[in-house]
Amino acid sequence: MPDLNGTLDPHIVRHMLACPVCGAGMQISGDGRSLVCTGARRHCFDGGGGGYVSLSPRHPGGGDAKEAVRSRSAFLERGYYQPAADALCGIVRELIPAGGAVLDAGCGEGYYSNRLAGEGYAVLGVDLSKYAADAATRTARRNRQRDPGSRTVFAVASVFDLPVQDGSADCVTSLFAPCAPAEFARVLKPGGFLIVAGAGAGHLMGLKRILYDDPYINQPRRDLPDDTHSLVLVDTRHVTFPLRVCGEADVQALFAMTPYYWRTSQEGKERLKGLDVLESEACFDFFIYRRKDRE
Ligand SMILES: C[S@@+](CC[C@H](N)C(=O)[O-])C[C@H]1O[C@@H](n2cnc3c(N)ncnc32)[C@H](O)[C@@H]1O
Ligand SMILES: [Zn+2]
């Protein structure tokens, strides 16, 4: 079991994490094996094998399965979505100063979280899948060998029940993951920013043309904040770039990380099999909200 002092940034632990049982602050235990809350009951949470921490007593075993995490990691590591990561980092740089605290809610295998940490932000990544948190922590550990200043914590928890202190985040990112506006508003500092990313109308149309006889364009997300959440929409950015996916393994990895994987007929799947090059357009919509100052 790795020493959590090597994987959990102590500043993020103290200033962002909250005990999921009693809401008190958190600290790394003296032997570095677990997190202990500062409340009277001293609730204790074990580190996972790779150095993430499990803070999800109410939602065990949820989130993406091992296979889904593996496909997405394989695809993202090949750099196909780097223009989206560059765009996200550019937006965050415009909004909050370097060193700010970012919560990546539904962080998956930490592709975007680790990029943001590389930009100098203190990043807490939360995902319901222990496989995702584990993969994210392993990447962060590798990155830290190159960049010892990179600061992250990855935890298993639900975005609907965040083990995060009120008003502790300068920015929350919710990228292709379930959106929990009430929780995001709670953990944001007044004046802080929420960035929600979703698939733009024409996202992966090239893939859908192969899978479906009559491909449809994507509808806007339905789980975006409304005006009951103390969050005000301040900007929307559309980021599009051409995608050329090379090799059957990469094409299948992309397919497996999309929702179409679950909705495509056997015939559609057969048409994709053996395809060596997929040309499509990637379209990402970024919705930027600002947390109202205290009313
Ligand atoms: C499509 S993936 C996106 C991952 C990452 N944000 C990215 O863009 O690469 C959605 C992620 O949300 C996670 N997830 C699903 N329900 C969740 C919940 N209630 N709380 C936290 N994470 C959740 C899944 O485990 C998965 O890793
Ligand atoms: Zn506690």
Band of pLDDT at residue 54, cut at 50, 70 and 90? very high
> Is the overall model pTM greater than 0.85, yes or no?
yes
* Residues whose Cβ atom is located within 5 A of ion ligand 2: 19, 21-22, 24, 37, 39, 43
Distance 178 CA to ligand 1 centre (A): 7
Distance 43 CA to ligand 2 centre (A): 4
Nearest CA to ligand 1 atom 13: 106
Q: Yes or no: say if 289 and 193 are a contact pair by the CB < 8 Å rule.
A: yes
The DSSP code for 203 is: T
What are the structure tokens assigned to 15, written together?
Answer: 């200033």
Q: Yes or no: say if 117 and 143 are a contact pair by the CB < 8 Å rule.
A: yes
d(CA 140, CA 251) in angstroms, rounded, equals: 26
d(CA 45, CA 34) in angstroms, rounded, equals: 5
Q: Would the CB of 196 count as within 6 Å of ligand 1?
A: no
Nearest CA to ligand 1 atom 10: 177
Ligand nearest to the CA of 58: 1
Tens of pLDDT along 31-48? 999 999 999 999 999 887
- What pLDDT score does 1 carry? 65
Tens of pLDDT along 227-283? 888 999 999 999 999 999 999 999 999 999 998 998 899 999 999 998 999 999 999
The DSSP code for 24 is: -
Ligand nearest to the CA of 107: 1
Distance 40 CA to ligand 1 centre (A): 33
User: Which domains can be identified in the chain, with CATH numbers?
Assistant: 58-291 (3.40.50.150)
Q: Would the CB of 190 count as within 6 Å of ligand 1?
A: no
